[in-house]
Amino acid sequence: MSHLHIPDGVLPLPWIAAGIGLTALFVYLALAALKRHDRARVVSRIATLSAVMLLAMSLPIPLLGYHVNLTVLAGILAGPAEGFIAAFVTNLILGLMAHGGITVVGLNTLVTGLEVSLGWLIWRSLRRALRRPFAAAAVSTVIVLLISTTAMLGIVAGTQINPDLALHRHDHSEHADHSEHADNADHADDTDHVGSLKAFAAVVYATGAVGWAIEALVVGSVTEFIAKSRPDMLSPSPDREA
Amino acid sequence: MDVQFVDELAANGRTPLHAALPWVKISASAALLAASIAASTPVAAGAAAVAVVVFASASLGQLRYTVTMALYPVFFASIFALGSVQRSPLFALTIVVKAFSAGLVASTLITTTPFVDIFAGVSRAMPAIVSDALFMGYRSFFILINELQNLLRAVRLRGGAGRGLAQQLRTYGQVLGVVILHSADMTERMYRVMIVRGYSQRIESAREWPPPRTFDYLLIAYAGAVLALILTLK
């Protein structure tokens, strides 16, 4: 459960707009960072990276029904700038496939982009500390997915998806003069929201932990394989540092 | 999510929705998606869902598959709804129904419209690097998935991925590693082809569409009317 999977119609409009706005800003910054690079090379690299992530996300693991994302691997191989754009491209295609909402593409890209960037950052730190590429990549993956899942929960908490706010707002305004009752109702709403969030967080962390372990194992294996076969792909080159 | 099958349906289907103009389908889908999202009461969400099912029915035999695709967002909406089902079952139901409608709109659009046509519309609002990567990434996906399937077949023929889940995941990781190595070679080939063909700023798409027909006008009018109805119910 790395990317959000939040369907359309769940999140409030300001959050959707903020997600799209921030994604546009980060894509712009990524493009600015890649401005001096060979455009044809950048396009071909982002294209294959997106294809690899899409490939990983389209293959469910038998019995578990989980799919890997390879966002951390994308960060390891391509760096944050190309990786972020590849994350956007992948999420856009997935959104059009009803795999996560179209309106949530912005927020999904922010979360997966966070995974790509953090994956790149943590991998660079850990590969010096841990000798085996498998261990460095696997540990990076677990840390990144823990952070990104918490970020996703932060989004859910921040959106204040609250049944009473959505269905009984009109009732509250009708009884606005009964301020004491309104305050009590708001307090009850807050309590319910926290309870719902706790239940949701419990489900997400419980299912997520299994997913992180699988993702870590796969990303670790892929990284180790690449380290043995094509170590140059894991070496930071000036072209991938952006 | 079988992207290959979705692409096959979109490219080779013969239904009234396939015959409609891509920009008409994209516009109608945008209106229906907006209606699905704007529906804030159970009645409005139900009305939007019925309207979307009617729209999706124009894809005839494909409806079963598109509904199956739309159940994926329903699963995740159910997780959200789970937290509020005791407090407000109607709110929980509204969330699930909205997710279904929005998912069905997206799945109907992509199973009746080739991706090239959808991308041509979407990419006009994007920077050249992103839109070009979108086109080429989607194309690359099919090359890589064929390769992955061949490798997985080879693994099975040689006795399988190993005993135990951990061993199997490591084997699949190595298989993915091979695909990624090949994808690096593919990147290099793609780069050379782009240079040889004189790629400079943007991949141009100069496709011309015929004038809209009666069904196209009906589709737009229908989607507009549904959106207006849902906004009225709001």
Residues B191 and B146 in one domain: yes
Q: Is B92 found in the same domain as B51?
A: yes
Express each pLDDT in A112-154 by its tens digit. Answer: 999 999 999 999 999 888 888 899 999 999 999 999 888 888 8
Query: Can you give the residue ranges of every domain in chain A?
Result: 13-240
Based on the fold, state whether residues B34 and B134 are members of the same structural domain: no
| Contacts with A, B 5-44, CB within 8 Å | 6, 33, 36-37, 39-41
CA–CA min distance A241, chain B (Å): 17
Confidence of residue A173 (pLDDT cuts 50, 70, 90): very low
Q: Which residues of B touch A61 (CB under 8 A)?
A: 169, 172
Contacts of residue B102, defined as CB under 8 A and 6 or more positions apart, other chains included, come to A7, A8, A9, A98, A101, A102, A103, B33, B36, B37, B73
SS3 category, A133:
helix
Alpha carbons A217 and B42: distance in angstroms, whole number: 43
| CA-closest candidate to residue B134, choices A71, A233, A213, A90 | A90
B213 and B188 assigned to the same domain: no
Domain of B133 in residue numbering reads as 127-196
Q: Do B97 and B26 belong together in one domain? A: yes
What value does the mean pLDDT take over residues A209-219? 87
| Residue A166, pLDDT score | 37
Task: Give the pLDDT score at B94.
Answer: 86
Instruction: List chain A residues with CB under 8 Å of B115.
Output: 96
Other Cβ atoms closer than 10 A to A241:
11
Q: In sequence order, what E strands does B92-171 have?
A: none
Q: Are B34 and B52 in contact (CB under 8 A)?
A: no
Considering the domain architecture, whether residues B23 and B134 belong to the same structural domain is answered as: no
> Rounded mean pLDDT of B143-152?
87
Contact B101 A195 (CB under 8 A): no
Q: Are residues B108 and B215 in the same domain?
A: yes
> What digits encode the pLDDT tens for the residues A13-63?
888 899 999 999 999 999 999 988 888 889 999 999 999 988 888 776 665
Most B CBs within 10 Å, among A1, A84, A96, A232, to test the B interface: A96
> b/e map of A50-69 (b: 16 or more CB within 10 Å)?
bbbbbbbbbbebeeeebbbb
For the beta carbon of residue B157, count every other beta carbon within 10 angstroms: 8
B-contacting residues of A 161-190, CB under 8 Å? 161-164, 166-167
- Rounded to the nearest integer, the mean pLDDT of chain A is 79
CB contact under 8 A, B177 and A226: yes
Domain count, chain B: 2
Residues in chain B closer than 8 A to A46 (CB atoms): 129, 133, 137
A56: number of CA atoms within 13 Å, CB side? 31
Percent of chain A's residues with pLDDT above 90: 30
CATH architecture, domain defined by A13-240: Orthogonal Bundle (1.10)
**B64 lies in the same domain as B138:** no
Mutate to test the interface with B, among A23, A26, A52, A76 (most CBs of B within 10 A): A52
Q: Does one domain contain both B181 and B94?
A: no
- Return the SS3 of B9: helix
What is the Cα–Cα distance from B201 to A195, expressed in whole angstroms? 52
Does the distance separating the beta carbons of B107 and A6 come in below 8 Å?
Answer: no
- The interface residues of chain A toward chain B in range 20-79, judged by CB-CB distance below 8 A, are 27-28, 31, 34, 39-52, 54-59, 61, 70, 73, 77
Tokens of B150: 């061949």
- Domain assignment present for residue B203? The answer is no
Provide the pLDDT confidence category of residue A110 given band limits of 50, 70 and 90: very high
Phi, psi of B162 (to 5 degrees): 115, 170
Which pLDDT band holds residue A5 (cuts at 50, 70, 90)? low
A106 touches chain B (CB under 8 A): no
Among A28, A40, A222, beta carbon nearest to B177: A222
Please indicate whether, in this complex, the C-beta atoms of B87 and A34 are within 8 angstroms of each other.
no
Residue B120 placed within a domain: no
Verify whether the Cβ–Cβ distance B191 to A51 is below 8 Å.
no
Please indicate, yes or no, whether residues B61 and B102 belong to a single structural domain of this protein.
yes
Same domain, B179 and B134: yes
Distance CA B45, CA B40 (A): 7
The residue count for chain A: 242
| pLDDT(B205) > 90 | no
Neighbours of A157 (CB within 10 A): 14
**Cβ contact A35:A185 at 8 Å:** no
The residue count of chain B comes to 234
Work out the angle at residue A177's Cα, subtended by the Cα atoms of residues A172 and A182, and round it to the nearest 5 degrees.
Answer: 45
Give me B229's structure tokens: 């109805």
- On whether both B214 and B109 belong to a single domain, the answer is yes
Alpha-carbon gap, residue B21 to B14, rounded angstroms: 13
Percent of chain B's residues with pLDDT above 70 = 95
Q: At B87, give phi and psi (nearest 5°).
A: -70, -45
The shortest CB-CB distance from B148 to any of A55, A92, A199 is to A55
